[in-house]
Chain A
């Protein structure tokens, strides 16, 4: 296991380096790189040169890259935002908790609802219920997140007035007591988390159904039934345990789609997370922030894959011995 762990860690580090390097190079190649943004300002040439020099943008690209990578790797310093005039680390630190909260809630919806639908479909395989669930899950899965978000806002906020359309809190939430403040947060979280989680739940349901159907015909399930265990216990304890390994892997695979979905969801719902600051950075051509959000997202994705691999290896010795 230690050898496997080391191999996986080395692969993850290599992957991260590649992502960061590719992002750095791409952002310097596209129109609107930091130096040309400063060069476009209607200020005296000397002032432009001073700004460019202060940011280290007049140094050769390899040197800029080495300095940037060194600062990130050694100090976690992602640089300084040209647009917001404050350290990128502060900007990301403010946004990360909101994205984690949203992604966590979306994961709960994805797997809570996905598992319930998947189990129901597997229990009544080929029935009308199974077919209905298939249609619903496929519909959910095929909806673009931005469309789902807008429809949710129109229905639950615009028409019914049940839920707020945007933000993490109501106006004046700071004056609420702790309980009311948390309830207010929950109310604001529901629509974006549903938007993000529901689309993914369709995929999770299909996965759970397939996993369960795969194990439900096996001997140990027949034995469990023969012992007189209730059907609920057979499915949830014996069936789901065996179907869990691929679901854990699916969990890791969900992270990239959650993060990419969060970019759109956070913009639609004005949720102050990583996706939102990425969007703002694109509009402001704020490449240090873009590099940081891409890097942090890459860490989250690679980290989740790593955890899934390790869990998989722990559950299935054949993987780590391969």
Chain B
């Protein structure tokens, strides 16, 4: 999953990334229970998030009840996940209303993520890994009292793949041949082929209420955004108490939720505040209890307030300088490597992000189990960069600018306007390249225009943001068949990488693809289609009266049902 140019300070959510033009291949991918065997049954288990705090020394015991006020910079756009464009707030909200079959745990650092029960209490694979049987919980009910059944799961899949619904992530279901309701609480999913992301693909998307929303044919869904809101039936920990457009959405406890002791909070008010400075002020004054993401530059203001806490956690993006391999001299891997060696990436990252980012070396994030720790960071070595370029026929002219065949080494260095960190990096890159005699001309381009230009190959060098989740599917970035789709923006083409990606993605478990992934990273590190710049953290801020907050790479309110709050002190 990827998005070369994340929109300024908003929409970092998983599904918006999917929406992007740049996403051709699968998103969520590849993890499944580490080391399980075909045919084995999985009563998926995960630690009960939030409980770790309970009873810990010096920590008050969790309590039930209370209201918290949270600040978001964009409003959810609806309650039907398959219709609305994803906003950060929207995806976080829908995650609380409609649970998935399983919960992907954020335990991806040492092995592929595991899955804990949600609507499905267990699942089992067939011997050929083409059939997966889910056993649903018998105690799951919709908020109107109707049981959640296998029929809901089958109908949800039909909605997901319906061309009339036109769900933006429907391609994740392309390989699913059928979803069968075996009985009220047993669902059997059959795939056309075996591949690494089967579990992630089938688990994508919440399960919707057929008895309530099935009243409207799929052909009318896109005209019925308000209807779904007015006929909301949920099975998650929260439902919607009220919704004031452009103002706030109030989530209230769903008494029908299958976990009797969850959620702990009575109400979660999602205040919509587009201005980041206003969010900070309200956090500071105690009007807000939580905000999912603040700028690293605002972190000192938050830490200066003893009532507030910061929580930095891994984010799924890597920022890199994409070289247009179809233009010379960027088609030459050695030239790209020389340009990368001319950059003091550590200085760039420390200046822009402080302690909230690290220099990246690979499209696979360093917090993910498959990151190749044997990779040696590309050194900052301007002398070596000059030597390589000299060997390639570049010689300094009277003005200090390198020339080859009388032509100066000058190029346009672009990024999307409005993203301050990337804009700042352009200036530093320009200066560092100038020192070796390369003239980069920074240019900020409006988001949509830049997307169109980069997709069409109309650029030289461009600072882009890509997103990589636990699927570890590198097809869209580096496979040669993604060049025509416009997602392989560097036009990188390497038959060995193509073969390795195809092989990795064809395995029944992504864990088995470790040798492929290591080799891919090694080749990419050598060829440098991108000069990797940084991978940043996301920084949530919240009031210390709030407990149990454990954001994940997927959702900052991942375990909202476990959060609890001390009474407001006056």
Report A's interface with B, CB cutoff 8 A. 30-32, 40-44, 46-48, 50-51, 54, 80, 83-86, 90-91, 94-95, 150, 153-154, 157-158, 161, 164-169, 171, 174, 267-270, 272, 276-277, 279-280, 283-285
Pull 25 A–B residue pairs with CB atoms less than 8 Å apart, ordered by A.
Answer: A31-B448, A32-B448, A40-B21, A41-B166, A41-B168, A42-B18, A42-B168, A43-B171, A47-B164, A47-B166, A85-B77, A85-B78, A85-B84, A86-B225, A150-B275, A150-B277, A153-B277, A153-B281, A164-B287, A167-B273, A268-B275, A270-B278, A272-B244, A277-B246, A280-B74
Contact of A157 (CB < 8 Å), options: B19, B67, B281, B452: B281
A131–B397 Cα distance when bound, in Å, is 60
**Minimum CB–CB distance for A173 against chain B, Å:** 10
Residue of A nearest to B169 (CB): A42
Report B-chain residues with C-beta under 8 Å of the C-beta of A80: 223
Chain B 418-449 interface mask (CB, 8 Å, partner A; 1/0): 00000000000000000000000000001011
Contact of B285 (CB < 8 Å), options: A157, A276, A277: A157
Task: Decide: B166 and A50 in contact? CB cutoff 8 A.
Answer: yes
**Minimum CB–CB distance for B184 against chain A, Å:** 31
Contact of A42 (CB < 8 Å), options: B171, B223, B244: B171
A84–B80 Cα distance when bound, in Å, is 11
**Minimum CB–CB distance for A8 against chain B, Å:** 35
Task: Decide: A270 and B274 in contact? CB cutoff 8 A.
Answer: yes
- Which residues of B (445-464) have their CB < 8 Å from a CB of A? 446, 448-449, 451-452
Report B-chain residues with C-beta under 8 Å of the C-beta of A42: 18-19, 23-24, 168-169, 171
Residue of A nearest to B166 (CB): A47
Contact of A171 (CB < 8 Å), options: B85, B168, B170, B271: B271
Residue of A nearest to B245 (CB): A94
Residue of A nearest to B84 (CB): A85
Interface centre among A48, A150, A153, A267 (most CB of B within 10 A): A153
Residue of A nearest to B10 (CB): A283
Contact of A85 (CB < 8 Å), options: B222, B245, B269, B282: B222
Task: Decide: B247 and A169 in contact? CB cutoff 8 A.
Answer: yes
Report A-chain residues with C-beta under 8 Å of the C-beta of B242: 174
Report A-chain residues with C-beta under 8 Å of the C-beta of B277: 150, 153-154, 268
A10–B319 Cα distance when bound, in Å, is 55
Task: Decide: B271 and A167 in contact? CB cutoff 8 A.
Answer: yes
- Given A85-B83, A94-B245, residue A165 in contact with residue B278 (CB < 8 A): yes
**Minimum CB–CB distance for A165 against chain B, Å:** 5
Contact of A279 (CB < 8 Å), options: B18, B78, B274, B287: B274
The 6 A-B pairs of least Cβ separation, nearest first, read A85-B225, A272-B246, A47-B163, A32-B448, A31-B448, A47-B166
**Minimum CB–CB distance for A11 against chain B, Å:** 35
Chain B 63-92 interface mask (CB, 8 Å, partner A; 1/0): 000010100001101100001110000000
A171–B225 Cα distance when bound, in Å, is 26
**Minimum CB–CB distance for B283 against chain A, Å:** 10
A152–B168 Cα distance when bound, in Å, is 42
A43–B269 Cα distance when bound, in Å, is 34
- Which residues of B (25-42) have their CB < 8 Å from a CB of A? none
- Given A43-B168, A43-B170, A43-B171, residue A267 in contact with residue B246 (CB < 8 A): no
Report A-chain residues with C-beta under 8 Å of the C-beta of B85: 83, 284
A300–B285 Cα distance when bound, in Å, is 37
- Given A174-B242, A283-B10, residue A165 in contact with residue B168 (CB < 8 A): no
Residue of B nearest to A276 (CB): B246
Contact of A84 (CB < 8 Å), options: B10, B67, B78: B78
Chain B 140-182 interface mask (CB, 8 Å, partner A; 1/0): 0000000000000000000000011011111100000000000
Report B-chain residues with C-beta under 8 Å of the C-beta of A272: 244-247
**Minimum CB–CB distance for A198 against chain B, Å:** 18
A269–B282 Cα distance when bound, in Å, is 11
Asked if B104 is an interface residue, CB under 8 A from chain A, the answer is no
Task: Decide: B226 and A166 in contact? CB cutoff 8 A.
Answer: no
A91–B77 Cα distance when bound, in Å, is 12
Task: Decide: A165 and B281 in contact? CB cutoff 8 A.
Answer: yes
Task: Decide: A153 and B278 in contact? CB cutoff 8 A.
Answer: yes
Task: Count how many pairs of residues, one from A and one from B, have CB atoms less than 8 Å apart in the complex.
Answer: 136
Report A-chain residues with C-beta under 8 Å of the C-beta of B248: 167, 171
Report A-chain residues with C-beta under 8 Å of the C-beta of B23: 42
A87–B448 Cα distance when bound, in Å, is 25
Report B-chain residues with C-beta under 8 Å of the C-beta of A50: 163-164, 166
Report B-chain residues with C-beta under 8 Å of the C-beta of A158: 281, 284-285
| Contacts A31-B449, A41-B168, A85-B225 supplied; 11 other A-B pairs, CB < 8 Å | A40-B20, A43-B167, A43-B168, A85-B77, A85-B223, A95-B245, A153-B281, A161-B285, A270-B273, A270-B274, A270-B278
- Given A86-B226, A166-B278, A270-B272, residue A51 in contact with residue B166 (CB < 8 A): yes
A171–B289 Cα distance when bound, in Å, is 13
Asked if B346 is an interface residue, CB under 8 A from chain A, the answer is no
**Minimum CB–CB distance for A13 against chain B, Å:** 31
**Minimum CB–CB distance for A314 against chain B, Å:** 39
A32–B317 Cα distance when bound, in Å, is 24
A50–B167 Cα distance when bound, in Å, is 13
Asked if B351 is an interface residue, CB under 8 A from chain A, the answer is no
- Which residues of B (275-295) have their CB < 8 Å from a CB of A? 275, 277-278, 281-282, 284-285, 287
A308–B35 Cα distance when bound, in Å, is 78
A60–B167 Cα distance when bound, in Å, is 27
A139–B296 Cα distance when bound, in Å, is 33
Asked if B224 is an interface residue, CB under 8 A from chain A, the answer is yes
A276–B273 Cα distance when bound, in Å, is 11
Residue of A nearest to B228 (CB): A85
Task: Decide: A84 and B274 in contact? CB cutoff 8 A.
Answer: no
**Minimum CB–CB distance for B42 against chain A, Å:** 30
A285–B16 Cα distance when bound, in Å, is 14
A47–B225 Cα distance when bound, in Å, is 18
**Minimum CB–CB distance for A85 against chain B, Å:** 3
Residue of B nearest to A80 (CB): B223
Task: Decide: A165 and B285 in contact? CB cutoff 8 A.
Answer: yes
A46–B162 Cα distance when bound, in Å, is 11
Task: Decide: B75 and A280 in contact? CB cutoff 8 A.
Answer: yes
Report A-chain residues with C-beta under 8 Å of the C-beta of B226: 85-86, 90
Asked if B7 is an interface residue, CB under 8 A from chain A, the answer is yes
A202–B269 Cα distance when bound, in Å, is 39
A280–B77 Cα distance when bound, in Å, is 11
Chain B 35-63 interface mask (CB, 8 Å, partner A; 1/0): 00000000000000000000000000000
Report B-chain residues with C-beta under 8 Å of the C-beta of A47: 163-164, 166, 170
**Minimum CB–CB distance for A57 against chain B, Å:** 13
Report A-chain residues with C-beta under 8 Å of the C-beta of B83: 85
- Given A85-B77, A86-B225, A153-B277, residue A166 in contact with residue B271 (CB < 8 A): yes
Task: Decide: A171 and B269 in contact? CB cutoff 8 A.
Answer: yes
Chain B 329-372 interface mask (CB, 8 Å, partner A; 1/0): 00000000000000000000000000000000000000000000
Residue of A nearest to B277 (CB): A150
Residue of B nearest to A90 (CB): B226
- Given A85-B225, A157-B281, residue A167 in contact with residue B275 (CB < 8 A): no
A185–B167 Cα distance when bound, in Å, is 40
Report A-chain residues with C-beta under 8 Å of the C-beta of B272: 270
Report B-chain residues with C-beta under 8 Å of the C-beta of A167: 247-248, 271, 273
Task: Decide: B274 and A267 in contact? CB cutoff 8 A.
Answer: yes
**Minimum CB–CB distance for B250 against chain A, Å:** 8
**Minimum CB–CB distance for A111 against chain B, Å:** 27
Task: Decide: B7 and A283 in contact? CB cutoff 8 A.
Answer: yes
Task: Decide: B271 and A270 in contact? CB cutoff 8 A.
Answer: yes
- Which residues of B (366-390) have their CB < 8 Å from a CB of A? none
Report A-chain residues with C-beta under 8 Å of the C-beta of B285: 157-158, 161, 165
Task: Decide: A83 and B77 in contact? CB cutoff 8 A.
Answer: yes
A31–B450 Cα distance when bound, in Å, is 9
